[in-house]
Chain A
């Protein structure tokens, strides 16, 4: 059974940092692109970043470029999102998701971890 479990969310002040983690199991993690998708409270879905199966290619939405870094450790079946210079508008539930194919479809999702940026 494919399982994705996010952790690391919490309350942080504007300008602060957080590192999210996603533990994967039930599939060969190192064969798949992975994505982070977020959802602000009461709002829709926003794609944030993705990373190639070998970690050698990353992509970001413009609004997080230069502030967020996606990484992975295939030996630990884990995905990460380092978030720096956090802003109020980064407040959201952050999901990690397995990417199905080249068109960024996400076939498995975790339950999300909540990040709240507030003073």
Chain B
């Protein structure tokens, strides 16, 4: 069973800064990795699928990269609404999430 590790658990940054959120897989997942954003009291929202494809309506400041076992979600310049929890996913496995907090 593949395990997805997201570290750090919490990342504190300021609006306007660049955010890089890593996700590491315990074995190769090729490019089959997705990213979700979840805000308090809301359902998750698909941001990125197949490593780098933005889902419908996702702003261009969100991008994904990586392959094999190491992946990154990048937010080029943080907006106030971007502070949330982010999860990576491969098939039926989710990472434990990274909380992006305002510094």
* A21-29, A43-51, A65-73: which lies at the interface: A43-51
Q: Does B94 contact A (CB under 8 A)?
A: yes
Q: Which of A44, A50, A107 contacts B46 (CB 8 A)?
A: A107
Q: How large is the interface on A (under 10, 10 to 19, 20 to 34, 35 or more residues)?
A: 20 to 34
Within 8 A of A (CB), among B55-103: 55-56, 87, 89-97
Q: Is the CB of A107 within 8 A of B55?
A: yes
A-B contact pairs, 5 of them (CB 8 A): A44-B94, A45-B97, A95-B43, A104-B91, A105-B46
Q: Give complex CA distance A101, B33 in Å.
A: 12
Q: Is the CB of A105 within 8 A of B89?
A: yes
A contacts, CB < 8 Å to B: 37, 44-47, 50, 59, 61, 95, 100-101, 103-107, 109-112
- List 13 additional A-B contacts (Cβ < 8 Å) besides A100-B49, A107-B55, A109-B45: A44-B94, A45-B36, A45-B38, A45-B44, A45-B87, A45-B89, A45-B97, A47-B94, A95-B43, A104-B92, A105-B46, A105-B50, A109-B43
